[in-house]
Amino acid sequence: MYATIEDVRVLLPDNVTIGDVNIGTPVPGQPTSKRDKLTPAEVTKYIRYAQQEIDGRLRPMYVCPLRRIKSYEIMILNHISAGTNVRVAVNDSGPFAVGQLVRLQKTHGYEETTVVEINDLDSLVVSSVLNSYPGGESYVSVLEYPDPIPLIAARLSVSYAFDQLFVAEQAPDISQYGVAQRKLAMNSMDAVLSGSIILLGQDHVTKRFVRMSLFDSYKTPTDDIQFGRESQ
């Protein structure tokens, strides 16, 4: 999927929670637990809907579904052995973030794991390692979908979820927050379609990205796209 549940959670208001907590049986003397608004299964469904929307718009230009790419790669400085919560020494840990999917790679073999902690500027901790990786000969790289696809997918997912919650609890209408998220997502999508944002590492299916000097005209089918969506 183009976004994670955590990506969606970050964009939701504080009073909209994701989880499997129900009200349950009240216990005398104990505070009543609040019921989660969304379940992980529901959020996953909305993310898949967002992916369908993105793929449908991008298929005239890109091979879909899109694929993850190595957005950043750096050499591992220390020897890594199999285990959990393994420290990885690098020259600069700045491009890494907690929760990111990373790939550990050596001459023969690789594996994926997740960043769980960043201690300082020259090291990070990954959740688990199944093989050993010699320092100075191995690399760690960030695996992710090209920007801004994860953000677009998360914004669309939030808009779908929030509109459903709004209709169920308040009034038979769409929420302004959902509309705002959709506008932001579609503005970014228009930038991709117009070519002002290029999806790094993806395969093209048309001549949209061929050097324009090879053609007689600079006009493209997406020149008429208008930015700033004010209607939904």
pLDDT tens-place values along the chain, 232 residues long: 999 999 999 998 887 888 866 545 444 554 444 566 888 999 999 999 999 999 999 998 899 999 999 999 999 999 999 999 999 999 999 999 999 999 999 999 999 999 999 989 999 999 999 999 999 999 999 999 999 999 999 999 999 988 888 776 665 666 788 889 999 999 999 999 988 899 999 998 876 666 666 655 555 555 555 656 654 5
Q: Which CATH class is domain 69-144?
A: mainly beta
Strands of the sheet containing 139-144, edge to edge, are: 69-75, 139-144, 101-105, 110-120, 123-129, 83-89
- The pTM of the full predicted model, rounded to 2 decimals, is 0.79
- Bridge partner list, 15: none
The two structure tokens encoding residue 106: 């050596």
φ, ψ for residue 168, nearest 5 deg: -70, -30
pLDDT of residue 177: 86
Secondary structure element (H or E) that encloses residue 87, with its range: strand 83-89
Q: How far apart are alpha carbons 2 and 68 in whole angstroms?
A: 9
Q: Containing H/E element for 75?
A: strand 69-75
What's the token pair of residue 67? Answer: 């694929």
Kindly report, as residue ranges, where domains of CATH 2.40.30.20 are found in the chain.
69-144
